[in-house]
Structure 1
C-alpha cells in the first residue's frame, strides 16, 4: 500500500506545482496579455523578448516592462526593436498602462479597438510601422491621452470625430492613406498642417470671422499691406526652415534616446572606491548598447560587454528604466552600500552611471560566463566544468552568500540564487552576481517588498506563498543550484514531462533517489569522472538546504562549514531520523553503497579529488 502512495504523492506534487504555475498565469491577466503579444510578434531577430518567460514570477521582471509600486504594468517600451507581427486585443488587460511604445518596427495588421479600454493611457506611439486599417474610434474614450503618434504607416479611412473629445498635446498622423475632412472642433485646430501631411485629407478651413476681427485696411493700402505681410511671412519661413529641418531630423533619430546630465562630463569622478562613469563613455564602450554585445538578459535588465578607453573589458548592466522623480540620491546611496560588499566570491562593482533616464552598473568582465552557460556547453559536447571545478564552485558560492548574510553592515538577501547568477572568472572562481539588485530596484519603495522576485524552480515555498524573503530563501535557492551543478539540468524544465518526470528538478532528484535510478542522476557530461563520496555529500547538502520548512534549513555559514568537512554527517543523520519519524521521504541509509551503483564504484580511485 505504501508503494502505491509514493507515486500518488509524486503525481500530486507535480500537479500542485503545475497548478501554482498555471495559477500565476491565470491570476495575472497582465502577464497573459503581454505573453499573447509576444506570441503575435512572430519575428524577434534581436531577441528583445527573450526575458518574457513564463518561469519568471511576474511580468514586472521582464525587460522592456516597467511597473509601479503596486506591480501593475505602466509602460511597454519596444521601440526600434525590429519586431514583426501584429498587435493583440488582449492588451486591454493592462488597466494601468500609461505608455505603449512600439514605434519603428515592422508591425502589420490593424490597431485593435480594444486599446480604447486603456483608460490610463497617456502616450500611444505606433509611428514608422506598416499598420493598416482605420484609426479606431474607441481612442476617443481615452481622456488622459496626450500624445498620439501614428505617422508613417498605411492607415486608411477618415479621422474619427471622437478624437476631438481628447485634449491632445501632440498629434501626428502624417504619411498615411487617410481621407475625408480634418475635424475643426476641439483641439484639432491647434495642430499644424505637418501633422496631417501626405494624406488625402481636406485642409482645415479658415476660422469664421467674429465681431472682434481686426478692421480691414483702407483700399489704397491693401496691396502694400499684403506685400508687407507676405515678405514677413517669407522671412519667418526662411528663418524657421533650419529649425524645422533640425526638429524633423531629431524625430527620425528617435532611437537615440540617451540623456546625459550636467556634472557628468568628467569621467574621473570617484565616490570613495566607486567610480561614476559618464553615459557618453559607456555608450562608446558598448557601441551604443549594440545587440552584438549583449552578454545576457534577466529580470533586472540587459548586460553588455564593453571596452573602456584604457582597453579594460567590463560588463555594463543596463537596469530596467526607472523614472521615479527625486530618487537619484537614494539610488546613489544604495549603490554605494552595495559597493561596500567586498569578497573574493562576490562580483565587485566598479562604478555606476545615472541620468534622468538611465541607471547603469559597471562590473568586471567575467571571461568564463555563468555556471548555467558552462553547463549548457557541457550538454552541447563542450564540457567546460569537470567535477573538481563544480565542487570548488559550490564552496565559493556558499562563501559569497554567507558573507552577504552575516558580514555586511546591512544584511543583503539575494532572492534569485541560481546557476545563471553564479559567474566564473578566468580561474573558474565562483563569483555571486546580481546581489543587492532586488533592494536596488525597489529603492523608491518601503522596506517591505511585496513583489516576489525570482525564477520558478528556485523560489522557496514560503517566499512564493507569503512574499516574505529571508536568508533562508537564499539557502533554498543555493540547494537547487547544487542540484544544477550535480545533474547539469535546469531547475524547471517542461521537457521532463515527455519522460513522465517531474518538471521541478528538486522533485525529480528525490524521485530518482527513491527509485535508485542513480545512473541518470549525475550529469552525463562528466562521463563518469567524479568522486563518489563527494557527489553523495553534495546531494545530502542540497536536500538539507531545500527542506520545506525554512526553520529546518541550515544557514549559509553552516553550509560553508559542512562543505569544508565539519558537521555534515551529524546533520544528515539527524535529518534522516526526522524523516523516518514522519515517513515523509524514506531514504536508504547514508552509506556510499546506496548512492553509487557497483559499476561505478571503481572510479573514485582513478580520479583525483579536490579543486583544481
Structure 2
C-alpha cells in the first residue's frame, strides 16, 4: 500500500494538469455559465442594423457560436475569425468586440458602419488581419491599434477618419500592408514601418519634406481665428475657390455631354472608356462588337471561370476576352481593386492583363491573344507527322512556367496562389515562350479574403490532396500542380482521362516512381518524340516531379528550388542561348517577338502588389 501511494499521487497530479490545460482552451464562461464570446457577438449584433438578415442565426441562448454564419472557430471552439464583409451592415461597432480575445481575423469591408472606431479594438492582441475599408467610420484612428503587435494586414481606407496618423500605428513593424487612403487625415505623415502602404487621397496630409508647409497651415488657421484683419483675405480666397469649382463643374458637364453625344446617349457605365493606371476600362459595346456579339465561332475555350472569346478591336489588335461567370459574385469596388492588383503583376512568363469591363451585370477581362494556344493544345497537335513541341521546347516551357509561378509566390506582395496550374492554363506566345494565364482569378471569384475556401477551384488530376480535402491552398498547392504539368510535358498525355478519379492519379505517380527506381525512364517519354530527348534532362525532370507531388505539402520544394534545379540542367540553358542566337532579338526573354509591337513587351522589374489575394 505504501508503495502504491506515491504512484497514485503522481497520477492524480498529472490528471489535474491535463484538466487545467483542457479548461484553459475552452471558451470563456461567466459566473452564470454564459459563453463570453456569445455575449460579445450578441452585443455587436445589437449595435448593427442587419437589413439582409445575415445575423438572424445569432442566438443569445446558444453555447456554441462556431455554428453561426460569418464566425470561424479554432479546433478548441474559440472564435478566431469574423468574415462580415459585403453584407450591407450599418450602425456602429460595439466596444464588446474587444472581448473576443482570441480573434485573429476581422473582415468588415464594404458595409455602411458609422461612428467612431472603438478603442477597445486595441485589446485584440492576437489580431493579424483587420479590414474596415469602404465604411463610414468617423473620428480619429485609435492609438490603441498600435498595441496590436501581431497585426500584419490593416485596411482603414475609404472611410471618414480625421486627425493625425497615430505614431503607434505607423510604427507597427510587423505590418506587411497598411492602407489609410481616401480619408480626411491631416498633419505630418510619420515614418511608416509597413512594407507596403498607401495614404493617397488625404489632402491635408503633408510629408517631412513639406514640414514648413504644415507649419504654415496650422499658423494661418490660428491667426485667422484671432485676427479680424484677415477677414477680407478669407473672403477673396473663398470666392476664388468657388469660381474654380464652378469652372470645373462646367468643364465636367461639357465632357460628359460630348461623351454621351459620341456614344448616341448610351449609358456611361457601359460605354465610356476610362483609363485606370496601366489598365484600360473597355466599354461593353466595344467588346461585344469585337467578338461579333460573343459569337460561338469565336470561342477559344471555356473553363471554371468563364468563356474566352477571340476579338478584334477597332485599332486592329487581336485580343482574348474572358467573360466571367457569376458577374454579381463580387461587388464593383472589390472587383476593380482585385483587377488593379492582377494588372500590376508584370513578368515575361505571366499573361498580361490589358483591361477589363464592368457593368451592372457583366464582368469581363481582356488579354493579349496567344497565337500558339495552350500547352494542352500543342501536346496533341502534329505537323507533317511530327509533334509541334519537340523536347527542347518542352523543357523551355517547363522552366518558363516555373519562373512565372515563382514570381507570383515570391515577388508579389501579398503572394498570389494560382490554384489551377495545368497545361490548358500555360499559354504559348509567338516564340513558344510559356505564359502562365488565369492567375488571380480564383481569388477574384471567391468572397473570402483568405486562401481557405469552401468552393475548391481547380481541375481534377491537378488538385493537391490537401486542397481537395480541406479547401486550404498555399504556394505548395501550385507546386503540386506544376509537378503534374511537368509529367504531362514528358508523357504528352493527360494525367487523367475522362472517367478516372484521384485513385488513378495516385497510380500514375506510383508508376513514375517505379520507373525511376528501375531506371526505365525512357518508357514514360512521349512516343511521338521517337526517342528524341536528352536523358540527363529527363532524369532531372522526373526527380522534380516526384518532389513536387509528395503527399505532404511541407515536403514539397518551393518554386524557387524548382527553378534552380531546372536551371542547373546546362543543356536547357545551352539550348536557350542557341535559340536566342538563331532567332536574334525576335524571341528574346523580353517576350517581344516584334520590335514594333509595344503592347506585347513586359516590364521585368519586380513590382509589389497591395491588397488581399
TM-score range (shorter-chain normalised) is: 0.3 to 0.5
Compute the TM-score of the two structures, normalised by the length of structure 1: 0.48
Compute the TM-score of the two structures, normalised by the length of structure 2: 0.48
